[in-house]
Structure 1
Amino acid sequence: MNNYLIVTALYRFICGGLILLINWELASPESTKHLAIATVLSFVPAIFTPFLIKLLFKNYTGSKLTKLSFLLIFLIVTGITTYYQSTFILIVLNFLLWIIFFLLETSLEFWFSELVENQSEIFINKYSSLSMTINQVALMIGPLFVSLIIKFIELQWIFLIYGLSYLLLYFAIKRSRQVTTNLSEEDATQTNEHIKILHYCISMLMWPILGTINFMLPTFTTFKNGKIYEVALLDSALGVGMAVIGVILSKWLSSRWLSVFLILTIGITLLWYLYEDNLYIKLFLMLVFGLAFGGARIMFRKMIVTTYTSQTVKRVYSLGNAFGLPVLALCIYLSILNLNFVWLPSFILLIVLLILLKTQHHERNITNEKSIN
């Protein structure tokens, strides 16, 4: 588990800075089309990633697939180092990068579910919250770090350093016991395990929320004539919120938090509309957004790993990501119709996500009460 925590934390640290650099290169106050195209294309891999996993990587363990993904990212970032000044090539390489990101996100969840399988609920709660907290701290520091060093180091060298860092992560993953996933009778039963439609609906909102945030922050900031450090600060405030709620939920995890998150999200949506030009208030609102979204992710993760087998968990996340693409495309299309409201889809998606989670918890409570009676 320690190897998992260290590797994922370093991955998030590098990833946060890398995404910010690419998005900032593509962002422009005159035209949002390059960043909009890149953001939508970033989620196209969600459609075919589940099939890639099923066809090419079905016998891979979570750690083995993660290891391979880091090697592929190293090669792609090396290409970005050379060709980042060409908008077309940068969009293409960014597309390839996100194919691997989707493989990674599924493999990391698969790896985690392998590590906690057959463990106690206390163990799962502890490490689910701990891993997300550590990752969010790393993701928070990453953009801040890169916004500082970009003043002293040329962009080409930063990309090169990031590429080499992924190569180091490739070597840092320890060899794990090979898990055979050929379809025996037991495996076939797990593969055919019924998944609730509501769980797919919840999963399909996770990446669109992050995608709209990644599109919104640089777009809205450049539209308001802001600087790259403002994007880094807002991104970091989001990460702080997600880290803080991870610590809180590791000790006091309860479905009652969903009502709190829903009320807070509705409140910050109204406040952003009123104070969108005040950076300090926006930092606070992004912090609260991070609390609500981070809490929702943790509660959904626990729900999934305690409901399904590790193989089914992989299906929930990979297919959920695929179904999220039309949602993201529609949100970005609506965003660019009026850049004054480019921030709104992220907040609406989070409100819908929390409502669905509350619905699911209500259904589980009713089911539990019936089983007791």
Structure 2
Amino acid sequence: MSEHPSTAKELAIFLFCSTVYRLFSGALLVSLTWTILKQNDGDYLPLALAIFCSFIPAFITPMMIKRLSRHMTGRQMSSLFVLCLTGLALISGFSRNFTLGLLITNLFVWLMIMSLEASLDMWFTQLQRGMDETKVRRISGATTATSQAALMIGPLLAAGLMPILTGIGFSLVLSTGFLLVAGICYTRNGLPMDVREKPEVAAPARLPMTLFVPMVLIWPILGAFNFMLPVYVSNHGWTLFELGVLDAVFGLGMALIGVLVIIANTGRNLLVYLSALTALAVISTTMWWLMPDTLFLKALSLLILGMAFGGARVHIRVAIACRYSEAAVGLYVSKANALATPMLLLILSLQLAIIENAWLLPFLLVTLSVVLLLQTSATRFARGQTPVEAMGA
């Protein structure tokens, strides 16, 4: 397979687009979940329904990605999906006072977001082609740091703008941001897609289950977190400000671990790195369980949890990007998203059954993910001794 040189300019475009997209998507998502919750005060079923339905599009995503990857690169798909978010952000402003309208809008927003996550991973895979794995890990850390910083600011943006803008005004701000990203993706000349990668879409080499299961758990963890956090804030009589702060520090934790990955040479110390993530997950769970219910202590616990979760996502992205073609990565990510939907249904059902302890499940799932990745790191695959892509489909 030929290698495509990835320039600093292309990486800068990728960083900008992925960061700004996540800034405005974070604001859009938290505004949708908070509005749905407040319209049904005391009834958590609509919120649970909204979060579960958000993951139904995961069944459609694999087919979309597989079909589109025959004709488009990850960058081109990203432009198309962000353009769709531009329109959906506008629709969210008009449906602000209608729960059914918000639920339907939320459904399509998540369809675009899941498709975008797959296309961005494809774009990243294309950019890193031919690089050393340690360098790829640092680039992944940089993208994680900037993206999570954006997701951290997004909820605060919503908390700051929603009280002073009308529903239409807030949606116009979001649409402008999405349109900017879509335009830059569309007008830039990306790296060409090697047509010789296409046969790998049909039958890519298999991932180890200890790596694939954490991939499947990424969205259920986020869904469980998105459910438990508004419930916790509402139960304690807090406001959108506290929700924005707690959501933001979780993202800050993921950004912080990205910075640490850039600084540290984690490519040569995977066992130490993943053992540290396991320790962070255990510490955050213990803190949330035993510490008093103050904003500072809960925020500190979520900061640590965000570091563990973000570190796991960095490792997963590098492990697949260094061994699979762009199209195969998109297919695996979309398949993991599809399997995440029934998993999320089970998790949300459990959270509704133990509503007072709904916080427990996202903490335990993060811990399980990093433990599985630690197991994977002991194998030849995780250490990068045998590039899977070279083995053929």
TM-score by length of 2: 0.89
Matched, 1:220 2:232: yes
1:175 maps to which residue?
188
Listed one character per residue, the Cα deviations across residues 240-275 of structure 1 (whole Å, up to 9, x for unaligned) are: 111111111112213212112212212221221223
1:345 maps to which residue?
361
| SS at structure 2 position matched to 1:363 | coil
**One-letter code of the match for 2:189?**
S
Q: Structure 1's 6 and 333: CA in aligned 2 closer, same or farther, altered over 3 A?
A: same
- Compute the displacement of 1:366 (Å): 9.7
Q: 1:272 aligns with which of 276, 288, 294?
A: 288
Matched, 1:192 2:203: yes
Q: Structure 1's 115 and 125: CA in aligned 2 closer, same or farther, altered over 3 A?
A: same
- Compute the displacement of 1:284 (Å): 0.3
Q: Give me the CA root mean square deviation.
A: 2.1
Deviates more, 1:256-265 or 1:240-249: 256-265
What is the distance in 2 between the residues matched to 1:96 and 1:282? 32
What is the distance in 2 between the residues matched to 1:151 and 1:25? 12
**One-letter code of the match for 1:297?**
R
Q: 1:322 aligns with which of 338, 352, 357?
A: 338
Gaps of 5+ in 2: 1-10, 387-393
2:28 maps to which residue?
18
Deviates more, 1:166-175 or 1:244-253: 166-175
Matched, 1:335 2:348: no
Deviates more, 1:256-265 or 1:92-101: 256-265
Listed one character per residue, the Cα deviations across residues 259-300 of structure 1 (whole Å, up to 9, x for unaligned) are: 122122122212212236221110000000011111111111
Matched, 1:101 2:113: yes
Deviates more, 1:340-349 or 1:194-203: 194-203
Equivalent residues in 2 for 1:254-269, closer than 5 Å: 254-255=269-270, 256-269=272-285
2:14 maps to which residue?
4
**8 Å contact from structure 2 (residues 280, 307) kept in 1:** no
- Compute the displacement of 1:154 (Å): 2.1
What is the distance in 2 between the residues matched to 1:89 and 1:57? 31
Q: 1:137 aligns with which of 149, 156, 161?
A: 149
Matched, 1:229 2:241: yes
What is the distance in 2 between the residues matched to 1:117 and 1:123? 11
**8 Å contact from structure 2 (residues 65, 331) kept in 1:** no
**One-letter code of the match for 1:317?**
V
2:300 maps to which residue?
284
**One-letter code of the match for 1:126?**
R
What is the distance in 2 between the residues matched to 1:178 and 1:333? 44
What is the distance in 2 between the residues matched to 1:145 and 1:304? 33
**8 Å contact from structure 1 (residues 137, 243) kept in 2:** yes
What is the distance in 1 between the residues matched to 2:134 and 2:290? 42
**8 Å contact from structure 1 (residues 59, 181) kept in 2:** no
**8 Å contact from structure 1 (residues 60, 179) kept in 2:** no
Matched, 1:69 2:85: no
Listed one character per residue, the Cα deviations across residues 312-349 of structure 1 (whole Å, up to 9, x for unaligned) are: 21122111111111111111111111221111110111
**8 Å contact from structure 1 (residues 246, 294) kept in 2:** yes
Deviates more, 1:76-85 or 1:104-113: 76-85
1:155 maps to which residue?
167
**8 Å contact from structure 1 (residues 59, 180) kept in 2:** no
What is the distance in 2 between the residues matched to 1:148 and 1:71? 25
| Percent sequence identity over aligned pairs | 28
2:4 maps to which residue?
none
**8 Å contact from structure 1 (residues 59, 179) kept in 2:** no
Matched, 1:38 2:38: no
What is the distance in 1 between the residues matched to 2:160 and 2:179? 23
What is the distance in 1 between the residues matched to 2:299 and 2:362? 15
Q: Structure 1's 367 and 69: CA in aligned 2 closer, same or farther, altered over 3 A?
A: closer
| SS at structure 1 position matched to 2:379 | helix
- Compute the displacement of 1:149 (Å): 2.2
**One-letter code of the match for 2:363?**
F
**8 Å contact from structure 1 (residues 220, 339) kept in 2:** no
Listed one character per residue, the Cα deviations across residues 28-48 of structure 1 (whole Å, up to 9, x for unaligned) are: 441011111110000111112
What is the distance in 1 between the residues matched to 2:356 and 2:202? 46
- Compute the displacement of 1:235 (Å): 0.9
What is the distance in 2 between the residues matched to 1:117 and 1:367? 18
What is the distance in 2 between the residues matched to 1:6 and 1:179? 20
What is the distance in 2 between the residues matched to 1:368 and 1:60? 29
Q: 2:214 aligns with which of 199, 202, 219?
A: 202
**8 Å contact from structure 2 (residues 66, 201) kept in 1:** no
